[in-house]
Amino acid sequence: MELMYKSTRSNETATASQAILKGLASDGGLFVPVTLPKLSVNIDELKGMSYKEVAYIVMKEFLTDFTEEELKNCIDKAYDEKFDTEEIAPIVKADGAYYLELFHGATIAFKDMALSILPHLLTTSAKKNNVKNEIVILTATSGDTGKAALAGFADVENTRIVVFYPKGGVSPIQEKQMVTQKGANTHVVGIKGNFDQAQSGVKAIFGNKELEKELDAAGFQFSSANSINIGRLVPQVVYYVYSYAKLLAEGEIENGEKINVVVPTGNFGNILAAYYAKNMGLPIDKLICASNDNKVLYDFFETGSYDKNRDFILTTSPSMDILISSNLERLIYKIAGCDDVKNKELMTALTTEGKYEITADMKAELKDFYGNYATESETADVIKSIYEDTGYVIDTHTAVAAKVYKKYKEATGDTTKSVIASTASPFKFTRSVMNAIDAKYDAMGDFQLVDELSKIGNVKVPKAIEEIRTAPVLHNTVVEVDEMTDAVKKFLGL
Ligand SMILES: *Cc1c(COP(=O)(O)O)cnc(C)c1O
C-alpha cells in the first residue's frame, strides 16, 4: 500500500518522491507520513544485518513509490567507499555508553549519512515524476550541512547547488572545506548574518512565487537539501535501527531490550529520526535531547513554551547554534493529534511573536523525551575527562550529548543502556577539542593541531582533512542578508 505524505499546515498531500522533490510543502509546512510505518521484520531478524540491508528494510517502508531496484540502487551508490569503514556507522563503547560514530563519510560529520543518498533519491524522484527542469539545491548551513550537501551534489547531472553560510559563524576548518569545494555546479556564499538569518533567507527564496516562475521559464526549479526534506529524514532513521542490530549481534543487549538514545540537537532532525525509529517499533525508551547554551529546546521541554526571543550565542558546537529548530514542527504536528490547523496556528505565532505555547495535553505526549543542556565549560570538561579516563577523543557536539547523558543519569538514576549519537569527528573541531584537553595547544596552527590530535587520540588523520591542507580557495562571495536572492539569480544567469 502506498504511504502518502501530507503537509503539517494543510491538507496538501504528496507521494514520497513528490515530497522529496518539493522539500517544503507549498503552504510552508513540512511533509510528514500520514501514518508512521512499522518495521516489517522481527527485532531478532535485525541481528547482524549490514548497513545497506538495514537501510533497505527501513527506507522501503517510507518510500513506497520507489521500486526495490530504484531504492537499492540509491543505497548502493550512497554507502560505498565514500565511507572509510565498511561498517558505515561503527559503535565505540566508552565511558559507560555506546558512541554511534556517524562521521565516517566524505565530510566527517553525520550529515553525510543522509546527504550521500539524497542526491540519488532526488534524481530518481525527478525521473519518476517526469521533471525536465534542472534541480537547484538551495541550502542554509551552520557548517556541516553545507559541505556534506556540496560533496553529495558536486557534479551530479541535472543539479546545481547554492550553499549559504554565516560568515564567521562556522569553524575555520568547516569554512575551508566549503570554499575549496570542486564541481562546476557548486556555489558557496558567506552572508553577513547568523545561521537563522541564512535559513530565513532561504525560506523566503523558496516562498517567492515570482522567482519560481522566472526559474521555471529558464528551465530550473528549486529543491531543498536541508533537514526539512523527508529525503534527509528517512535515511537518518536507518542508523538507529542499525545500532540496535549491531548491539544485538555483539551480545551487548538482549532481543527486545530497551535502549535510550542521546542526540546532540540543533534543527531537531536527528532526534526526530530516532523518534520515528521508536514509532517503527524499535525498542527505544527515552529520547534524550542535548542542547548547548542555545537551550531553547531544553526550556521547551521544561515549560511547554517555545521562545526564540533570546540572545543567539556562538558556541564551540556551532552546528547546534540554532534558535528555530525547524524539524520540531513535525513533532508539534504529531502531538497536536495530527491537527494541521492547530500546528499552523502555533507556527504562525512563532513567525509573528517568536514564540508559542503548547497545551497540557500536548505536553503529556512528550513524556518519551528528556531535555537538558551543557554549558561551554561543561562541554570542554567532559572532552578532557573522557579523554583522560579512556583515551577516546570526542568532538564538541558529541561532548554536549555526553554531558547531558551524565546529567540525565544523575537526575533519574536510569541505568538503561544508551547510544550516544556521535555527530562529528574531533578532527572537524580540532581547536576547540584540543583546547579542552590542554590550553597549551592554543598556540599551535590548525594543521599542526590536526597532527597532534592524531597522535594523542591514536587515530589516523581522516582523508577529508588531508585533502584541504593544500586545496585552493574556489569560492569567495560574501553578501548581505538582503542580497541572497540576487546571488542565486546571478549564479543561474537570470
Ligand atoms: C547538524 C548537526 C547537529 C544537529 O543535528 P540536528 O539534526 O540539526 O538536530 C549536531 N552535531 C553536528 C556535528 C551536526 O552537524
Residue 56 is assigned to a structural domain of this protein: no
Closest among 41, 47, 48 to 280, alpha carbons compared:
41
- Through-space distance between the first and last CA atoms of the chain, rounded to whole angstroms: 43
Q: Which atom of ligand 1 is nearest to the CA of 423?
A: 13
Instruction: Answer whether 264 contacts ligand 1 (Cβ < 6 A).
Output: yes
Ligand 1 pocket: which of 103, 107, 110, 288 to mutate (most atoms <8 Å of CB)?
110
DSSP string, 104-130: -STTSBTHHHHHTTHHHHHHHHHHHTT
- E strand residue ranges, 192-299: 220-224, 259-264, 284-291
Q: What per-residue confidence (pLDDT) applies to 117?
A: 96
Q: Which atom of ligand 1 is nearest to the CA of 266?
A: 9
Distance 267 CA to ligand 1 centre (A): 7
Distance 168 CA to ligand 1 centre (A): 18
Residue 361 is assigned to a structural domain of this protein: yes
CA distances from 115 to 9, 157, 243 (A): 26, 16, 19
Q: What per-residue confidence (pLDDT) applies to 1?
A: 80
Distance 403 CA to ligand 1 centre (A): 16
Residue 171 is assigned to a structural domain of this protein: no
Angle between helices 118-128 and 230-249 (to 10 degrees): 130
Instruction: Tell me how many domains the chain contains.
Output: 1
Q: What per-residue confidence (pLDDT) applies to 260?
A: 98
Structure-derived torsion over alpha carbons of residues 289, 294, 300, 301, reported in degrees to the nearest 10: 30
Distance 322 CA to ligand 1 centre (A): 10
pLDDT-derived band of residue 275, with 50, 70 and 90 as boundaries? very high
β-pair type (220-224, 134-140): parallel
Distance 246 CA to ligand 1 centre (A): 23
Ligand 1 pocket: which of 423, 425, 430, 433 to mutate (most atoms <8 Å of CB)?
423
Residue 245 is assigned to a structural domain of this protein: yes
**For 360-394, what is each residue's pLDDT tens digit?**
999 999 999 999 999 999 999 999 999 999 999 99
Instruction: Answer whether 423 contacts ligand 1 (Cβ < 6 A).
Output: yes
Average pLDDT, the chain: 95
**For 81-101, what is each residue's pLDDT tens digit?**
999 999 999 999 999 999 999
Q: Return the exposure string of 187-212: e unless at least 16 CB atoms fall within 10 Å of the residue's CB, then b.
A: bbbbbebbbbbbbbbbbebbeeeebb
**For 41-80, what is each residue's pLDDT tens digit?**
999 999 989 999 999 999 999 999 999 999 999 999 999 9
Instruction: Answer whether 418 contacts ligand 1 (Cβ < 6 A).
Output: no
pLDDT-derived band of residue 277, with 50, 70 and 90 as boundaries? very high
Instruction: Answer whether 111 contacts ligand 1 (Cβ < 6 A).
Output: yes
Residue 68 is assigned to a structural domain of this protein: no
Q: What per-residue confidence (pLDDT) applies to 276?
A: 98
Give the span between the Cα atoms of 23 and 224, in whole angstroms: 5
Q: Whose CA is nearest to atom 14 of ligand 1?
A: 319
- E strand residue ranges, 378-459: 418-422
Instruction: Answer whether 321 contacts ligand 1 (Cβ < 6 A).
Output: no
The burial of 256, by beta-carbon neighbours within 10 Å (0-12 exposed, 13-18 middle, 19 or more buried), is given as: exposed
Q: What is the pTM of this model?
A: 0.92
Give the span between the Cα atoms of 43 and 54, in whole angstroms: 11
Residue 65 is assigned to a structural domain of this protein: no
Distance 20 CA to ligand 1 centre (A): 20
Identify the three-state secondary structure at position 462.
coil
Instruction: Answer whether 228 contacts ligand 1 (Cβ < 6 A).
Output: no
**For 212-231, what is each residue's pLDDT tens digit?**
999 999 999 998 787 789 99
Phi, psi of 288 (to 5 degrees): -100, 115
CA distances from 388 to 82, 382, 394, 431 (A): 32, 10, 12, 18
- Clarify whether 111 is annotated catalytic: yes
Residue 352 is assigned to a structural domain of this protein: yes
Q: What per-residue confidence (pLDDT) applies to 223?
A: 85
Q: Which atom of ligand 1 is nearest to the CA of 264?
A: 10
Instruction: Answer whether 109 contacts ligand 1 (Cβ < 6 A).
Output: yes
**For 148-184, what is each residue's pLDDT tens digit?**
899 999 988 889 999 999 998 887 878 999 999 999 9
For the segment 444-457, the average pLDDT, to the nearest whole number, is: 94
Q: Which three cell numbers stand for residue 202?
A: 532561504
Residue 209 is assigned to a structural domain of this protein: no
DSSP state of 341: H
Domain, as residue range, for 432: 91-107+231-459
Instruction: Answer whether 432 contacts ligand 1 (Cβ < 6 A).
Output: no
Q: Whose CA is nearest to atom 8 of ligand 1?
A: 267
% residues pLDDT > 90 (the chain): 88
**For 133-142, what is each residue's pLDDT tens digit?**
999 999 998 7
Q: Which atom of ligand 1 is nearest to the CA of 111?
A: 15
Instruction: Answer whether 462 contacts ligand 1 (Cβ < 6 A).
Output: no
Q: Which of 38, 77, 82, 111 is catalytic?
A: 111
Strand (E) or helix (H) holding 389: helix 376-390
CATH number of the structural domain spanning residue 290: 3.40.50.1100
pLDDT-derived band of residue 5, with 50, 70 and 90 as boundaries? very high
Distance 61 CA to ligand 1 centre (A): 25
For residue 413, how many C-alpha atoms fall within 13 Å in the half-sphere facing its CB?
Answer: 0
Distance 397 CA to ligand 1 centre (A): 8
